[in-house]
Amino acid sequence: AKANSTYSAPASTANVVSDTENVVEKTPTNYGNSYPVGQCTWGVKELAPWASNWWGNANTWAIYASAQGYKTGSVPVVGAIAVWDGGEYGHVAYVTDVQSENSIQVLEANYRRQKQIANYRGFFNPHEFLGNVTYIYPN
């Protein structure tokens, strides 16, 4: 089932085309972002300033977000944060496009050690990547 949403992506992603070569030009400042520059958590915090600075490693984000009153679920929505629980630290990404629950696009950092925020994969199946996926929805 495709979720309907009226949530708009932040202006910083407005000029991003769904192109795996496109990189968001963002100067790392760490101002308002406590995550290490270049890590996936830093990238998502840059794109979703509503995310907390204190959710820990990527694989704990959904747990802490839920505890802080954010809704979480299994349906991808543009503007949500995708959280994968696999691996030692997990992975997070910012959802930018949804065709179905099995086909999404994201902006992310530290995908295959790429430190810039970009769309590295085009459309992909989030269920075929690094464990279980949960989405955190903006309030």
- Which pLDDT tens digits describe the chain residue by residue (139 residues)? 444 444 444 444 444 444 444 555 444 444 589 999 999 999 999 999 999 999 999 999 999 999 999 999 999 999 999 999 999 999 999 999 999 999 999 999 999 999 999 999 999 999 999 999 999 999 9
- Domain hosting residue 89, numbered range: 11-136
**Is 3 part of any domain?**
no
Rounded CA gap, 60 and 64, in Å? 6
> pTM score > 0.85 for this model?
no
Residue 88 · residue 14 · CB < 8 Å: no
Please answer whether residues 94 and 108 qualify as being in contact, where contact means their C-beta atoms are separated by less than 8 angstroms.
Answer: yes
97 falls within a domain: yes
User: Which CATH number fits the domain that encloses residue 19?
Assistant: 3.90.1720.10
In-domain check, residue 23: yes
- Tell me whether residue 103 is in a domain: yes
Q: What is the pLDDT of residue 103?
A: 99
90 falls within a domain: yes
Domain assignment present for 49: yes
Handedness of CA 96, 98, 99, 102 (dihedral sign): positive
Residue 54 lies in a domain: yes
Look at residue 31 in the predicted model and tell me its pLDDT: 56
CA distance between the termini of the chain: 21
